[in-house]
Amino acid sequence: MSTARAWVRLPSGRRLDLLDPTPFDWTDEDLAIGLARTYRWGGHSTWTLPLSVAQHSLLVLALRRQSSATGLSDPAARRELLHDADEGLLGFDPISPLKPFLGPGYAALAARLQAALARRYALPAWTVADKRVHKRADRIAAASEAVHVAGWTQEEVRKTLRIVEPLEDTDPLAAAWDVAPWEPWPADAAAARFLQVLRRLAG
């Protein structure tokens, strides 16, 4: 029996074995494009376009910066920006209630990708306190996206999605990028903006 493998060919021409990733298997552009073409909310949207994981990642980073009294170091900001980066390499963002049904194989695959990303971008390990404030920002982003992008009501967000964090009315990305509030970006714009921030944080 041949060794298990799961190759994907990336836009740069590099090949990534999802089952045995290394930190050198993709370019920053590959990652940005992958995240810009991977969609939140199962690809469903009340707008013309779906919301990409790239745009969501920038939103979470913006929310964390807003909530931090002392600011974020570049490594901490990179960790926020790349918190879902494995989904861009995998090309798959399962909705949260689905994840437990995907089994330990999927969890192990995602963990290997996350480890390769952490090595590639020198991401600091999560502390309990850092993880707690990150998850709050991530859930505020989710609540806001659910209402402003996916079409859920605020009551449904609380009762059906069980997200108790308050949503944001003001899109922090709108002023930063001079775009319409909460409107999903085209994939090329999302990739370019994500890549710009990643490169700035990577020095």
Tokens encoding 123:
């991401």
Q: Which residue has the tokens 């949207």?
A: 45
- Say yes or no to pLDDT of 88 above 60: yes
- Say yes or no to pLDDT of 2 above 80: no
Amino acid at 165: E
Q: Which fold has domain 37-202?
A: Hypothetical protein af1432 (1.10.3210)
Amino acid at 56: H
Buried b or exposed e, range 143-162, using 16+ CB within 10 angstroms: bbbbbbbbebeeeebbeebe
Helices and strands (H and E) in the chain: how many: 9, 2
Give the SS3 label for residue 17: strand
Least confidently predicted of 67-71, 116-120, 159-163, 187-191: 67-71
**Mean confidence (pLDDT) of the chain:** 95
Yes or no: say if 158 and 181 are a contact pair by the CB < 8 Å rule.
no
Burial class of residue 62 (count of CB atoms within 10 Å of its CB; 0-12, 13-18, 19+): buried
Predicted local confidence at residue 1, as pLDDT: 45
Tokens encoding 150:
């996916």
The pTM score is 0.95
- Per-residue pLDDT reduced to its tens digit, 117-168: 999 999 999 999 999 999 999 999 999 999 999 999 999 999 999 999 999 9
